[in-house]
Amino acid sequence: MNRNSPIYLRTFREGLLREKIQQLRSSLSACNLCPRNCGVDRLNDETGICNTGEKARVSSYSPHFGEESPLIGIRGSGTIFFTFCNLLCNFCQNYDISHEGRGEEVSDDELADIMLYLQDTGCHNINFVTSSHVVPQILSALEVAITKGLRVPLVYNSSGYDNMETIKILEGIIDIYMPDFKFWDPEVAGQTCKAKDYPEMAMESIREMHRQVGDLIINDGGIAASGLLIRHLVLPNGLAGTRAIMRFIEQNLSKNTYVNIMAQYRPCGEAYSNKNLSRSITMAEYDEAIRIAGEEGITRLDER
DSSP SS3 for 56 = coil
- The rounded Cα 74 to chain-centroid distance in angstroms is 22
The DSSP-derived string for 224-239 is EEEEEEEEEE--GGGT
Q: Environment class of residue 193 by beta-carbon count within 10 Å: exposed (0-12), middle (13-18) or buried (19+)?
A: buried
Domain locations along the chain: 7-43+57-295
Looking at residue 303, its pLDDT comes to 83
Q: How far from 9 is each of 5, 13, 110, 122, 135, CA to CA, in Å?
A: 7, 6, 20, 19, 17
DSSP SS3 for 177 = strand
Distance CA 14, CA 187 (A): 45
State the pTM of this model.
0.97
Distance CA 286, CA 301 (A): 13
Q: From first to last of the 304 residues of the chain, give the pLDDT tens digit.
A: 345 799 999 999 999 999 999 999 999 999 999 999 999 999 999 999 999 999 999 999 999 999 999 999 999 999 999 999 999 999 999 999 999 999 999 999 999 999 999 999 999 999 999 999 999 999 999 999 999 999 999 999 999 999 999 999 999 999 999 999 999 999 999 999 999 999 999 999 999 999 999 999 999 999 999 999 999 999 999 999 999 999 999 999 999 999 999 999 999 999 998 999 999 999 999 999 999 999 999 999 998 6
Looking at residue 3, its pLDDT comes to 53
Domain 7-43+57-295 has CATH 3.40.630.90: no
